Amino acid sequence: MMMMGETWSQLGSLIATAMFLWAMFDKYFPHHLRSLILSHSKKLASFVYPYIQIKFHEFTGEYLKRSEAYAAIETYLSEKSSSEAKNLKAVVVKDSSQSVQLSMDENEEVTDEFEGIKVWWGVKKIIPRTQSFSFYPEMEEKRYYKLTFHKSHREILCGKYISHVLQEGKAIRVRNRQRKLCINKSRKWSHVTFEHPASFDTLAMESKKKEEIINDLIKFSQGKEYYAKIGKAWKRGYLLYGPPGTGKSSMIAAMANFMNYDIYDLELTNVKDNTELRRLLIETTSKSIIVIEDIDCSLDLTGQRKKKKEQVKDEEENDPASKMAKGEEESNSKVTLSGLLNFIDGLWSACGGERIIVFTTNYVEKLDPALIRRGRMDKHIELSYCGFEAFKVLAKNYLDVDSHPLFVTIGHLLEETNITPADVAENLMPKSLNDDSETCLKKLIEAIKTAKEEAKKKAEEEARLKAEKEEKEKQEASQEDVKVDKSLAKEVKENGVEVVIDDKTLAKEVKEIGVIA
């Protein structure tokens, strides 16, 4: 069946040929007559063929880079192509073994509608005239998408519609892309596919707190104009703190899955100096989370590096090359967190945004307040021991149980005991095929009771140690008093006073009779 756009296109070609023939009569027609005929023929052509065509070529520029617009159109049309076109092309999406993107093959056509206006999209291929050998035959073929629409809609389609297609195509690409987990090793990022299953649904924490974080992330993702308006880099910093096993890393994975972002796990101990750090940060892409885990340990970094430096100092001393480099390196060599935070602001303001930076720590009290002030780390999130609400999320995840009579006991026990979500999760996980949900819940009750018992013992032990320490300090203090008394007694003797009483009461009596005064 001949498609609408195709028919018009062929008619257009016919008219163009006719115009060409007219032009061939060039020399037989006087100039004024010729331009009159041409202008009338153009009017006729536009009357008979009132359609506009726009081509989007696959490869553009001097280096034949694949056009982003072409890729976006291909993605945008993918769904329509798979439902309308008969000849399709399948492309395996990069980095993935399962995902396939379908697009229409050459000479196919699909329709689209925008604000009630119908348009036609087709793919064409220009085969090169000279059949020469090429390393990149697909680049030689020169494919393009052709958009056809009625001239009366020119304004709306050339403006709003095309930018809608490009934006939507890019957005679908971002949604469908394989996300990356990048790790800095030997001076550069290496990546694996990020496939962590954590989500905010599976994260065990109070629903109110969870909602607050989700809303914060949504607000951030929609804040492009806002950040531009206030003149700040489009970034947001989170500090996640809490004991080990409370879900800090799980929350980062949930954030990345929710936002559809890549993760850059920055290991500061692998970074040689600030120059390298800066380069690594510049290489991070937009729509990503940069993670620095356990910053309280990273804070010691400067000290550690100094020690290491001292070790190699002797070796370097005799090396002329290192002597030359030394002057320059000295100023760049320290990797400090405050430095990092300072130039994150500068760098990311310059290279576009949509980046989240997350720091984690088990010991928030150890951090320098200047480092974690608001603005640098916009939101501080505490991940804590498992409460009843968090337990219910874990019970649903691990056992698919919403309620159970044992929940009441567990609720009471959790109020009195500090147990991490990681420990709760571990106990809820069935260990054998015979373990039903009740068995697992009972196992958890036992675990919480044991934890409670251990915490009690620990508290008693700590109290005992404290009492012992206090007693020791008391004894030491009284021994100190005796020492003072003895020296006093010696002084009294030297001053010629008869002393027959014991050391302890000596000073008192001496004072009373006024010898020292």
Ligand X SMILES: Nc1ncnc2c1ncn2[C@@H]1O[C@H](COP(=O)(O)OP(=O)(O)OP(=O)(O)O)[C@@H](O)[C@H]1O
Q: Which residues contact 84 (CB under 8 A, 6 or more apart)?
A: 104, 110, 111
CA–CA distance, 38 with 24 (Å, rounded to integer): 12
Please give the size of the binding site for ligand X, defined by CB under 6 A: 16
Determine the Cα–Cα distance for residues 400 and 439; give it in Å rounded to an integer. Answer: 14
Q: Report yes or no: 124 and 108 within 8 Å, Cβ to Cβ.
A: no
Residue closer to ligand X, measured from CB, 5 or 245 = 245
Please select the residue that binds ligand X; options are 85, 123, 204, 256, rule is CB under 6 A. 204
Which partner, ligand X, Mg ion, none, binds residue 353 by CB below 5 to 8 Å per kind?
none
67-126: contacts with ligand X (CB under 6 A): none
Q: Which of these ranges, 70-78, 91-99, 108-116, 242-250, lies near ligand X under the rule CB under 6 A? A: 242-250
What radius of gyration do the chain's Cα atoms show?
38
Q: Give the one entry of ligand X, Mg ion, none that residue 422 binds, where binding means its C-beta sits below a cut-off of 5 to 8 angstroms depending on kind.
A: ligand X
Q: Tell which phi-psi region holds residue 352, choosing left (phi > 0), alpha (psi between -120 and 50) or beta.
A: left
* Residue pair 383/241 in contact by the 8 Å Cβ criterion: yes
- Among 121, 144, 421, 492, the residue binding ligand X under the rule CB under 6 A is 421
Binding to ligand X, residues 359-378 (CB under 6 A): 362
Structure tokens at 110: 């699909």
Residue 248 touching ligand X (CB under 6 A): yes
Least separation in angstroms between residue 277's CB and ligand X is 22
- Residues interacting with Mg ion, by CB under 5 A? 248-249
Instruction: Decide: is 425 part of the binding site for ligand X (CB under 6 A).
Output: yes
Is 263 a binding residue for ligand X by CB under 6 A? The answer is: no
Look at the alpha carbons of 215, 220, 226, 231 in this order and tell me if their dihedral is positive or negative. Answer: positive
Tokens linked to 310: 């001292």
Helix (H, G, I), strand (E, B) or coil at 148: strand
Q: Put the strands of the sheet holding 288-292 in their side by side order.
A: 188-193, 180-185, 262-265, 288-292, 355-361, 235-241, 379-382
Residue nearest to Mg ion (CB): 249
Q: Which is nearer to ligand X, 77 or 240 (CB)?
A: 240
Contact 265, 194 (CB under 8 A): no
Could you tell me the smallest distance in angstroms from the CB atom of residue 249 to ligand X?
A: 3
CA distance 141 to 444: 65
What is the nearest approach in angstroms of Mg ion to the Cβ of residue 304?
A: 21
Instruction: Write down the least CB distance from residue 245 to ligand X, Å.
Output: 5
Dihedral angle sign, alpha carbons of residues 234, 239, 244, 248: negative
Binding partner selected for residue 213 from ligand X, Mg ion, none, CB under the kind-specific 5 to 8 Å limit:
none
Q: Is 281 in the site for ligand X (CB under 6 A)?
A: no
Q: Which is nearer to ligand X, 255 or 341 (CB)?
A: 255
Out of Mg ion, ligand X, none, which partner does residue 178 contact, by CB within 5 to 8 A per kind? none
- Rounded Cα distance between 61 and 349, Å, is 29
Residue closer to Mg ion (CB basis): 180 or 248: 248
Which CB sits closer to ligand X, 210 or 235? 210
Contact residues toward ligand X (CB under 6 A) are 202-205, 244-250, 362, 383, 421-422, 425
